[in-house]
Amino acid sequence: MMKNKHTSFVPYFLILICGIFLSACSSSEKEVAPQDQGDSVQAEETEQKEDTNKGENDLQAFLTSPSPPVDTKSFLQYPSGKFSTVNYDENQEAIEEELSKWPELAKEDGEEEVKKYFGNVLALFAEDYPHPDKLVAEWKENDFGNPELEDPRLQFKENYNVEIILDASGSMAAEIDGTSMMQLAKESIEKFADSLPDEANVALRVYGYEGTGSDADKELSCSSNKLFYEMEPYDSKKFGEALGQFEPSGWTPVAESLLKAKEDFAEYDGEKNTNIIYLVSDGVETCDGDPVAAAKQLSESNITPLINVIGFNVDSEGQQQLKKVAEAADGTYATVRNMEQLQSEFDRSQEMASKWLNWKIGAESANIDQILERENSIFDYKYEWGDKSSLEIRNIDKALLYLYKTHKLSSEQYQLMKKERQARYDLANKTENDVYKDLLNMAKEDYKKMEKEINEKYKSAN
C-alpha cells in the first residue's frame, strides 16, 4: 500500500515543478520586454536629437553670407547675385528649386538670424548696379582723340589694334536660355570684329581649350593658350574658321593669357598704336597664376593698352577677382548675363573706332556740346539704376513670399524679413540720388578731378 501511494505522488510532483518553471519563464519574459521597449525609445530620441542638431548645424552654416551693405560705398561694391537681371516669373522653376534647398529658420530665431538669412536672399538677387567710375570711363572713351586728354592711351595714333582674349574653360559650356555661353560669346565676338573699320587690326587669343577640368588634365589645360587669329585686318572666312577650332574644355589660366597678350602686341608700341584688349572670362584664375599682377605688368608695358574686363555670368568670387584685374590695369569691368549685354560692352568701342577712322582719313567730326552729352548719359544712368532696383525688389518680394508659404519662415520672421527688404530699397534709392547729384556736379570738371572724387567717395582703400 505504501508503495502505491509513493508511485501516484510522483506525477503530481512533476506537474507542480513544470508549472513553477513555466511561470518563472513567463515572468522573466515580462521583465525583459519593458527593457527592450526602453532601448527602442532611447534610440528614437537619439536619432531625433541628431536630426535636430544636423538641422541646426545646416542653418548655422547657411547664415554666413556676406552682410548686406550699409552705405553708398559698400552698396556699390556688393557683388551681383546668381539671378540678377532675370525675372522671377520667367525663371520661377529654377529659382524655387534653389530656394527649396534652404533650411528653415527655427521658430525662436529673431532679428539677428533673420538679418543673416536675408543676406542669402540678397546674395541671390542683388543687381549689378552701374558704378560711377564706369560712366566716367565711358566719357573718356567718347572723348577719344581730344588733345586735352592727358591719358596717352586715348590720343589718336597711326594704327588701331584690338585683341579679344576668350575663356574656353569647361564652365563656358553652361547654357543661357538653351544656348551655351561659348556659342553666345562666339557670335558676339564675330559681330564685333566684323564692325571694326577695314583699316583696323584684330586678334583672337583663347585659353583653356584643351584637356578637361580633371586634376590629371590640369597641366595640359593650363598650358593651352593660343592666338587663333593673329593680329591683322578682319577676314570673315578666316575669322569664322578660327572660331570653329575650339570648344569649352578645361581650366582657366587668366594670368598667362594676359602675359601672352603682351607678346602679341610686341611690335605695336603705344607711341604709334591705339591698343585695346577685351578679356572675357566666366570665372577666376584656376592655374595658380596671379592675374592682378599680370594685368598690372601688361598695363605698364610700352604697348599702353586700354583693357576691358568682362565677367560673363560670373559668380561673386569671380566678380571680385576680375574687378581687381581691371583696377590693376586702370581699365574697365562689367558683369554681363546674356548675349545682349555682352554685345553692348563690345559696341562701346565702336564709336572710338569711328572717331579714329575719321581722324585717319581727315574727316571733320561734329562739334558736340560735351557737358550736355555727359548730362544725357547721367540721365540714362539714372534710368538704368531705377530699372535694376525695381527688378531686384520684385524678385526679393516673390522669394520671401515663397519662403513663407513653404514654412521656412514664421509669420513674425516674414514681417522682419520685409523690413530688411525695405531697408535695402531705401539704401538703393539713397545711393542712386547721391551718385546722381555727384555725377551732375562732376560733369563740369576735368577727368583728373572726377577720378579723384570717385576714388575717395566710392572705392575701398585696398
Delineate the domains of the chain, giving CATH numbers in brackets: 58-151+369-462 (no CATH), 157-367 (3.40.50.410)
Residue 32, CA atoms < 13 Å, CB-side half-sphere: 6
pLDDT, position 397? 96
The whole-angstrom separation of Cα 433 and Cα 417 is: 25
pLDDT, position 166? 98
pLDDT, position 369? 59
The whole-angstrom separation of Cα 444 and Cα 375 is: 9
The whole-angstrom separation of Cα 185 and Cα 338 is: 9
Q: What is the pLDDT along the chain (462 residues), one digit of tens a residue?
A: 334 444 444 444 344 444 444 444 444 443 433 444 445 545 454 444 444 444 455 677 777 767 789 999 899 989 999 999 999 999 999 999 999 999 999 989 889 999 999 999 999 999 999 889 888 888 888 778 876 677 888 888 999 999 999 999 999 999 998 999 999 999 999 999 999 999 999 999 999 999 999 999 999 999 999 999 999 999 999 999 999 999 999 999 999 999 999 999 999 999 999 999 999 999 999 999 999 999 999 999 999 999 999 999 999 899 999 999 999 999 999 999 888 889 988 887 777 888 888 888 776 444 445 777 888 888 889 989 999 999 999 999 999 999 999 999 999 999 999 999 999 999 999 999 999 988 988 887 777 788 888 888 887 655
**Grid cell 541646426 in the structure block, residue:** 56
Burial bucket for residue 82 (CB in 10 Å: 0-12, 13-18, 19+):
middle
The whole-angstrom separation of Cα 356 and Cα 160 is: 8
One-letter amino acid at 201 equals: N
Picking from 377, 429, 331, 381, the residue whose alpha carbon sits closest to that of residue 130 is 381
Q: How far is the CA of 98 from the CAs of 7, 119, 403, in angstroms?
A: 87, 15, 11
Q: Rounded to the nearest 10 degrees, what angle do helices 92-100 and 370-405 cross at?
A: 50
The whole-angstrom separation of Cα 159 and Cα 271 is: 10
State which H helix or E strand residue 76 sits in.
Answer: helix 72-77
State whether the Cα torsion 175-176-177-182 is positive or negative: negative
The whole-angstrom separation of Cα 166 and Cα 312 is: 10
